[in-house]
Structure 1
């Protein structure tokens, strides 16, 4: 994945990232509130030796002290020092338990010892630190004395008395919340990447190109009014979706130029991907360019084409295939668009057999002689075999991939099924492309002829409505 992929995932899955971040911050805040407060008192000790008469003795004494200090830091946590402290303060704990509250360290190249005492009671922490400092001085004097008559050559002095701490060292709200934010962002980004990895649905042209090497013939944007106004070429002839169908028409004219198909099957992997509306709008667009177009309602199971076009179809293709009607008698003109429509007719019990029959092949050859393009609205490939059967007797197949409906694996299986019977896959039309969000791919005819961002597209439409641009 490159930087653009990460940006796309963040834009698309920002809710997941935000939810994980808020959850981790809430947990950090809860732990901060529920954790007991701990205070830390500090005392500092200075270790010195008896003075010498010359510089050599002073240097030797300094080296001796620095070597001794390293051992003194470990001596502080021994029972020899802590038992008197426990007795003096009346503490109800063992030397090991008290030693767990005390840490000591020696700053580099010094003869100082820092003693840190942590406790839930700030005053008790200060008392323990003060008692440890005084008792340690006494203990060192006793340990370093070589005889009862000779004084100890080492002296430990308290240079920083312990004071009652003004605030707890833990929990630290700022640090905990900051860690919660960082961990939440990392967890959220990981969850977003994981969801994106396992989400195999087609959401854009990019996903179609990842699923198949077939040519993407065009992209149709999603519209909330698509169900109410399926024939966008007529209802909004100057809109971006109408322009997308014109672009698809142009691209189809250059597909397989050496053996240009006259009959084209439009199908999809699953129901609901928009193959029927794509078929109808493309047919109207082709007829508007001067082509003689016949569109066939080839879905003999759930025909919708005539319903979308507002036409009646009591007789149609099935009547022709079984010899009940002549082809010229059942073809209907669709208004003044120049499109001729052949409805499905009565629903037969054996659609696949009828569509794959020799009679159907003869009907197609006859229609190819009468029209420049014969476009067939066929059923989805995965549920039934009708479109696969039609692919063997037509010039080519265009697969409609509906964003948010079909998965990459399903699209790959559809194309493999068509190619498995030597069908000619002309390309893929990406339908229902989102116009908002991370997968938005909005195209407008305007300055530069380039894809515009959703925000810029909204600004352009606003300016158009206000009459700024024509």
Structure 2
């Protein structure tokens, strides 16, 4: 994938990234609110050695004090010092609790010791730091006492100060960390989900196939509709599709328009394509060969419930109860003719494989320049492949974001099984961020037969 592909993926999944980023920020806020505030402070103890005041004595004494500061820092956390400090506090402080809340650290290269304390109460931590520092000044000199007095002296040079703000939690840090973690997780989730997805959204998701002649992306209208699109971009896409079929393939008088699955609106694409052909003065007829008698036609039956019984159409001609001239009607308000499916029964779809279907198409080719067959879903109904074979070419409609690669490849396999060599693809309802990011023109493969331009 190129950088543009990654940017397109991120634009497509921006809402996931935004949602996880917000969740990360909320998680950081929750950590801040649920964390008990922790205050810390420290007192400073100075270690010195008494003796002669000659320069040599001062130098050796200072070196001795610096070395002993490390030992005295460790001494501050012993039970002897902590018991003395707990006794001076006078509030029943436990020695183990006091050990857990205080620490002593020597400053490197100096004779200073920092006695720190932390806890949830700022006044308590100040008292504990001062108590341990004072106890250390009392107990530590006894270690080096050679007589009644000790040459070592420890002095509290800076008492603990009451902290104004807690050391933890840090709301700003938690918020930034939460946002960063959420953002990273969001980007990772979108990229991984796209890599694992098998759905076709744009031309980049189509598996290479030598049988594809032309390829067109159809943008989604502002409002999804099964009728003629009302946006200029979509109208231009159908005009481009018309040009691709005329000059980029060997489409002649008849073309079968079929969706890969029921998610594709092959009926709508067939009618809009017919309208595009009518714009250049061609006589076009749309033939509804979706002869399903099961639930696949329930939506159309529901729309016609108020209009009475269906008008005679393809099923009636194939059944021998109507003639071709009796079933061709002009679409109101358009320059396109249509042949409805008619009165469908359980055997209507099977009659498409009989000579009667060939005769029907031959009869329609005489008065019309183009015959557009609106077929049922390719991978669901075998008669779609039959219609494509009778037509000699097929336009496969892929529903962006709904059709899977495996379904698309199965559809191509079905067309290849009946010997259809001219297959074009239209990816319908492509979102704006997915347009123009894939392969242009025809898919890699052998050169298709020379195009035939209608007179």
Any idea what the Cα deviations from partners look like across 1:284-334, whole Å, max 9, x if unmatched?
3213324443432111123969x99x9x97333233333444445544455
Q: State the match for 1:87 in structure 2.
A: 87
**Cα–Cα, structure 1 residues 85 and 53, in superposed 2: closer, same or farther, change >3 Å?**
closer
Cα drift, residue 367 of structure 1:
4.4
Alignment of 1:423-442 (within 5 A): 423-424=420-421, 426-434=423-431, 438-439=433-434
Return the match for 1:250 from 234, 243, 253. Answer: 243
Q: State the match for 2:105 in structure 1.
A: 105
Residue 206 of structure 2 aligns to a residue in which SS? helix
TM-score by length of 2: 0.80
Cα drift, residue 187 of structure 1:
3.6
Q: State the match for 1:221 in structure 2.
A: 220
**Cα–Cα, structure 1 residues 353 and 179, in superposed 2: closer, same or farther, change >3 Å?**
same
Say whether the 8 Å CA contact 1:262–1:395 is kept in structure 2: no
Cα drift, residue 430 of structure 1:
1.9
Aligned residues: 427
TM-score by length of 1: 0.78
Distance of 2:153 and 2:418 partners within structure 1: 98
Say whether the 8 Å CA contact 2:288–2:375 is kept in structure 1: yes
Say whether the 8 Å CA contact 1:42–1:162 is kept in structure 2: yes
Cα drift, residue 248 of structure 1:
0.9
Cα drift, residue 71 of structure 1:
2.8
Which of the pair has the greater relative contact order for Cα pairs under 8 Å at 6+ separation? 2
**Cα–Cα, structure 1 residues 78 and 199, in superposed 2: closer, same or farther, change >3 Å?**
same
Say whether the 8 Å CA contact 1:249–1:282 is kept in structure 2: yes
Distance of 2:96 and 2:333 partners within structure 1: 98
**Cα–Cα, structure 1 residues 416 and 60, in superposed 2: closer, same or farther, change >3 Å?**
farther
Residue 114 of structure 2 corresponds to residue 114 of structure 1? yes
Q: State the match for 1:447 in structure 2.
A: none
Cα drift, residue 44 of structure 1:
1.0
Residue 393 of structure 2 corresponds to residue 402 of structure 1? no
Cα drift, residue 366 of structure 1:
5.4
Any idea what the Cα deviations from partners look like across 1:120-147, whole Å, max 9, x if unmatched?
22222112111211211222200122x2
Any idea what the Cα deviations from partners look like across 1:6-29, whole Å, max 9, x if unmatched?
544444444433433333433433
Return the match for 2:350 from 341, 348, 353. Answer: 353
Q: State the match for 2:66 in structure 1.
A: 66
Q: State the match for 2:255 in structure 1.
A: 264
Cα drift, residue 220 of structure 1:
4.0
Say whether the 8 Å CA contact 1:211–1:411 is kept in structure 2: no
Say whether the 8 Å CA contact 1:35–1:171 is kept in structure 2: yes
Residue 159 of structure 2 corresponds to residue 161 of structure 1? yes
Say whether the 8 Å CA contact 1:433–1:441 is kept in structure 2: no
Unaligned runs of 5+ in 1: 443-470
Any idea what the Cα deviations from partners look like across 1:257-310, whole Å, max 9, x if unmatched?
4xx4442110102335221121112123213324443432111123969x99x9
Distance of 1:211 and 1:97 partners within structure 2: 70
Say whether the 8 Å CA contact 2:286–2:373 is kept in structure 1: yes
**Cα–Cα, structure 1 residues 107 and 385, in superposed 2: closer, same or farther, change >3 Å?**
farther
Residue 290 of structure 2 corresponds to residue 293 of structure 1? no
Residue 177 of structure 2 corresponds to residue 179 of structure 1? yes
Distance of 2:418 and 2:107 partners within structure 1: 82
Cα drift, residue 2 of structure 1:
5.0
Cα drift, residue 148 of structure 1:
1.9
Larger mean CA deviation between 71-80 and 46-55 belongs to 46-55
Unaligned runs of 5+ in 2: 438-455
**Cα–Cα, structure 1 residues 168 and 342, in superposed 2: closer, same or farther, change >3 Å?**
closer
Residue 238 of structure 2 corresponds to residue 239 of structure 1? no
**Cα–Cα, structure 1 residues 73 and 207, in superposed 2: closer, same or farther, change >3 Å?**
same
Return the match for 1:277 from 261, 264, 268. Answer: 268
Residue 308 of structure 2 corresponds to residue 315 of structure 1? no
Say whether the 8 Å CA contact 2:263–2:403 is kept in structure 1: no
Cα drift, residue 223 of structure 1:
4.0
Say whether the 8 Å CA contact 1:293–1:374 is kept in structure 2: yes
**Cα–Cα, structure 1 residues 278 and 115, in superposed 2: closer, same or farther, change >3 Å?**
same
Larger mean CA deviation between 75-84 and 194-203 belongs to 194-203
**Cα–Cα, structure 1 residues 108 and 247, in superposed 2: closer, same or farther, change >3 Å?**
same
Residue 35 of structure 2 corresponds to residue 35 of structure 1? yes
Residue 392 of structure 1 aligns to a residue in which SS? helix
Residue 387 of structure 2 corresponds to residue 390 of structure 1? yes
Distance of 1:398 and 1:264 partners within structure 2: 7
Distance of 2:339 and 2:135 partners within structure 1: 106
Q: State the match for 1:452 in structure 2.
A: none
Cα drift, residue 102 of structure 1:
0.9
Any idea what the Cα deviations from partners look like across 1:35-88, whole Å, max 9, x if unmatched?
333322210122233466665555544443333323332221111211111122
**Cα–Cα, structure 1 residues 164 and 239, in superposed 2: closer, same or farther, change >3 Å?**
closer
Distance of 2:34 and 2:332 partners within structure 1: 75
Say whether the 8 Å CA contact 1:218–1:251 is kept in structure 2: no
Distance of 2:418 and 2:62 partners within structure 1: 94
Aligned-residue CA RMSD (Å): 3.6
Distance of 1:276 and 1:325 partners within structure 2: 23
